[in-house]
Structure 1
Amino acid sequence: MAASSPSGVPTTEKNMNGRAKTGNDFDVYGDEQTADIKYRTMHWWKAAALMLAETVSLGILSIPSVFASLGMVAGCILVVSLGAVATATGYQIGQFKLRHPHVHNMADAGMVLGGPVWREILGTAQVVFLIFVCGSHVLTGLIAFDTITSGASCSITWAAVTAALGFALTLPRTLDGISYLSVASFVSIMSAVLITMIGVGVTGHQGGVGVTSHLNFANGFLAVTDVIFAYAGHVAFLTFISEMADPRDFPKALLALQLADTTLYLVVGVVVYAFAGAHTVSPALGNTGRTLRRVAYGVALPTIVVAGVINGHVCAKLALVRVFRMDGGRVSPHMARHTKKGWATWIGICAGIWALAFVIAEVIPFFNDLLGVISALFASWFTYGISGVFWFHLNPAGTRWTTAARKLQAVFWGAIVLRGQAGAFIMVAGLYASIWSIVKGYQSGSFPSPFSCVNRALA
């Protein structure tokens, strides 16, 4: 199909399958041969590093408390099983992207699956989810700064500082431009959890370790949603793939991510819980003595900020694409060129995201419950349920039952779809668990009021 380049000259584009593009599958970035800003430049290992930095940062901090809630055996089973399913569903997202090269985000996927209504539903859900994740990073930064300084300044100041850092680092226009931050993020979180594990080991066993656990429904479900959140990087996968030099390399990046995060979750969860026992707290860095805790949070500051930056960037890119994507196979010059309007729009979007993240961190100022709200609302849909719908969309009815292997695949993905349908229950139950925990926290006086200067350092 004939299309217009940013300069208005008609061009002919081809997609990843080599056929001529239609208006429906025109790539949002257009022809980058003469572009000032080139988006599709990221190698697979950079994508893997970004995915790892995005996924592991806050997820790993809640895992030890999951083991404390569920017990050692159930904790290990849950981490491994949800990790295996997350690998399969992540792979399916990659296959969907290859079939539909123009899909840049969940809004585009919704358009393919169900038209304009589903585009708005999935696009809105993705934006809200990512802004809430940014809010959780602002909250964690607040806790970290208060812990390091022993509450020397008003906690609102630290939330503002974290949000300002997140905004500044989100400003590069491409994922490749911020990929170098992922190395610092990974080194940071690994060093912090290593300090924590050494610290709890030196301190010795602090409480009994349960093989199994007896707990009420709300607490149990909150623990499950924490593990779901730990694998919730899928919401950004379509955008990552869109900026890879060769999207066919995505399975390499996915496998590297899933092997690394599942292993890390198991090791950290088992070690910290084995020593801290019933006294395990969340975030996990609070399980050491006062001095080591302050050191661990100081070391963890880069990952607290950078992982939020990655999520903020994906959210901002979705909004930018929505503003400047044109119908009929045309690409706005503001996407690929350094224009005043393009940069003003990008900066405004980034500022809006981090301002909202700051407000969320102040309104829901408690770590595990904020993660529970995020997971209950969106994580299970994007990480698990929607990939089953992708599989049935990519495999017509006449091809699903031709061989034994195909039948097994159909049954598996049918179960994933059913799990997605159960997402409504997960959302309601998870929200109940989170709201119940929030109400109990306020009733007991253990939570500070919103926009309060109260010191939130871990004692």
Structure 2
Amino acid sequence: METVYDKLAALTRAAFASLFDGVTPLFITMAQVGYQEKKQPEYQTTDSEDDSLEMITALVAEDHEHDIKLRTMSWQKTAILLAGDQVCLAIMAQSWSLSVLGWVPGIITMVLSGVLFWITSITMHKFIMKYPQIKDICDFGYYAFGKSRAAYVFSAFMLLANNILLIGFHVLTGAKVLNTLSDHRLCTAVFSVITTIMGITMSLPRTLNHVSSMSMFSSACMGTAILLFLVFAGIEKAPLYGYSGNYPTAGPVKTYAFPLPGTTWVTCMNAVLNITFLWVPQILFPTFIAEMERPQDFPKALAVLAAISAILFTVPPAIGFRYLGQYATAPAFGSLGVVAYKKASFGFVIVPTLIIGVIYANVTAKLIYTRTMGDSKHAHSNTVMGWGVWVIVMVGIWLLAFVFSEVIPSMGDFLSLLSAAFDSFFGFIFFAVAYWQLNKGKLFSGFGKTVMSLVNVFILLCGLFILGPGLYAAVEAIIADYSGSVTPAFTCANMAL
């Protein structure tokens, strides 16, 4: 018998289905308006390091004349912000990737992703040093593709879609954590509302310098969660839960060098996308660099992040795979059999879940806010209108993210979709194009340059592969989800691990 709740859920889903029909043109319209209202001075390209430093000095001096100063972060603060963004729940999904791919393809994918991350990030920094006026990935696309208006609008749309969906994922994750800790004391939709309200409140600071202060606490909490998980996984006799059946239905725990027989290509591709998703945060980097007092020091912050990532993105997943084997889930907390262990480790995830959402919300809001306010005094001053618009933009971003978190049946598969559709551009293709722009006329001028040019051809091919076959695999996984039972919109069902 259909209940009042079922009717309400059906009506809500229909209402938001019609909303989504307008989301894409809404994003494109916002991006186009942003481009048209954007009053960016046409700075000359800096052809030397001295010219670049001179322009940076001028930009910093101009910024420091404002009430709200953005270009204030040191490289140390930037390193903390980078760590806060990257030390995240996605680390705990890598044991599952290894359980799908096996040791050899899994570790090769991880190492290769790390190497390409470093190369593309350095290319990004060099390109921004040539165009220090770049404020976000939209500006980066504009200059990388020859001051193309279409590239700016495309980048803006992709930034909005990627970030809002990611914030929605963090809303859903926050609800899962609260569900797990409370033994489902409240409706899951209520937990999502609580997470959204907390996210809005924490997102009110307008500078990344303030957000960076939160990131240290975020990294510490995620590190504690990972450490506790590794301890609990080691002391448990065996994991309890697994996708192929609970222990011991899938046999004794084992590890293996290559994918197990019967593993599909779609599953393997989604495991690869899961790894690349973790290693591709460059969509945020131009905004981070734009708020540094000395952007030329960004490689120092990047080196700190690379060292942290090299350890955290490989060692904990490898240990997790060693103890969980074919029973590994994503996130790996879900494989633990003792409820107390699960709560003690997973509970710490609530902090990075909120703070990483805040970082993405800040970058997203700045795109909309700066293009809306233009060069008016409200853009950089403590005025009622300035703060009012900032709050409205931030609330709108989190509310839209909340809607996505409630109506999408499997955010895990949609992360694979994000990786294929967005990371292919913002982790690979954009920077291969930027390398070509930086080195036109001298791509094969020497052995070293020739090698790097070939490496960037490989980077471009990787991006196209992720965009093509990768996107196909992600869509296939989503279709499989929809073929089964679909979680109703704004559900009260228990979503605890």
Q: 2:157 aligns with which of 121, 124, 137?
A: 124
1:321 aligned partner: 370
CA contact (8 A) 1:400 1:410 kept: yes
Are 1:421 and 2:464 matched, yes or no?
yes
Displacement of 1:332 in angstroms is: 2.7
Q: 1:257 aligns with which of 305, 311, 315?
A: 305
Q: 2:213 aligns with which of 165, 169, 180?
A: 180
CA contact (8 A) 2:333 2:346 kept: yes
After the TM superposition, which of the residue ranges 202-211 and 126-135 deviates more from structure 2? 202-211
CA contact (8 A) 1:196 1:296 kept: yes
Please give the alpha-carbon distance, in whole angstroms, between the structure 2 residues aligned to 1:320 and 1:403.
45
CA contact (8 A) 1:162 1:305 kept: yes
Please give the alpha-carbon distance, in whole angstroms, between the structure 1 residues aligned to 2:103 and 2:325.
10
CA contact (8 A) 2:266 2:474 kept: no
Cα distance change on mapping 1:436 and 1:29 into 2, 3 Å: farther
Letter in 2 for 1:402: S
1:9 aligned partner: none
Are 1:349 and 2:388 matched, yes or no?
no
CA contact (8 A) 1:200 1:276 kept: yes
1:77 aligned partner: 108
Are 1:408 and 2:459 matched, yes or no?
no
Q: 2:340 aligns with which of 291, 311, 318?
A: 291
Displacement of 1:323 in angstroms is: 1.7
Cα distance change on mapping 1:299 and 1:58 into 2, 3 Å: closer
Please give the alpha-carbon distance, in whole angstroms, between the structure 2 residues aligned to 1:133 and 1:30.
34
Aligned-pair identity (%): 27
SS at 1:422 equivalent:
helix
After the TM superposition, which of the residue ranges 188-197 and 24-33 deviates more from structure 2? 24-33
CA contact (8 A) 1:13 1:31 kept: no
1:312 aligned partner: 361
After the TM superposition, which of the residue ranges 207-216 and 218-227 deviates more from structure 2? 207-216
Q: 1:189 aligns with which of 203, 222, 239?
A: 222
What is the Cα-based RMSD across aligned positions, in Å? 2.5
Aligned length: 436
Please give the alpha-carbon distance, in whole angstroms, between the structure 1 residues aligned to 2:446 and 2:109.
31
TM-score scaled by structure 1?
Answer: 0.89
Please give the alpha-carbon distance, in whole angstroms, between the structure 2 residues aligned to 1:451 and 1:146.
14
CA deviations on 1:317-344 (whole Å, 9 max, x unpaired) are 121222233xxxxx33222211222112
Are 1:230 and 2:278 matched, yes or no?
yes
Please give the alpha-carbon distance, in whole angstroms, between the structure 2 residues aligned to 1:127 and 1:25.
27
1:301 aligned partner: 350
1:282 aligned partner: 330
Letter in 1 for 2:463: G
Are 1:100 and 2:99 matched, yes or no?
no
1:213 aligned partner: 259
After the TM superposition, which of the residue ranges 195-204 and 286-295 deviates more from structure 2? 286-295
CA contact (8 A) 1:63 1:227 kept: yes
Please give the alpha-carbon distance, in whole angstroms, between the structure 2 residues aligned to 1:438 and 1:342.
43
2:85 aligned partner: 54
SS at 2:134 equivalent:
coil
After the TM superposition, which of the residue ranges 409-418 and 205-214 deviates more from structure 2? 205-214
After the TM superposition, which of the residue ranges 251-260 and 206-215 deviates more from structure 2? 206-215
**Structure 1 consecutive aligned stretches of length 4 or more whose deviation exceeds 4 Å:** 12-21, 24-30
Please give the alpha-carbon distance, in whole angstroms, between the structure 2 residues aligned to 1:30 and 1:13.
18
Letter in 2 for 1:132: L
Please give the alpha-carbon distance, in whole angstroms, between the structure 1 residues aligned to 2:373 and 2:56.
16
2:19 aligned partner: none
Specify every segment of 5 or more residues in structure 1 that has no aligned partner in the other structure, as ranges.
Answer: 1-11, 326-330
Displacement of 1:29 in angstroms is: 7.8
2:176 aligned partner: 143
Letter in 1 for 2:459: I
Please give the alpha-carbon distance, in whole angstroms, between the structure 2 residues aligned to 1:30 and 1:157.
46
Displacement of 1:52 in angstroms is: 1.5
Please give the alpha-carbon distance, in whole angstroms, between the structure 1 residues aligned to 2:280 and 2:69.
28
CA contact (8 A) 1:188 1:303 kept: yes
After the TM superposition, which of the residue ranges 90-99 and 71-80 deviates more from structure 2? 71-80
After the TM superposition, which of the residue ranges 62-71 and 12-21 deviates more from structure 2? 12-21
TM-score scaled by structure 2?
Answer: 0.83
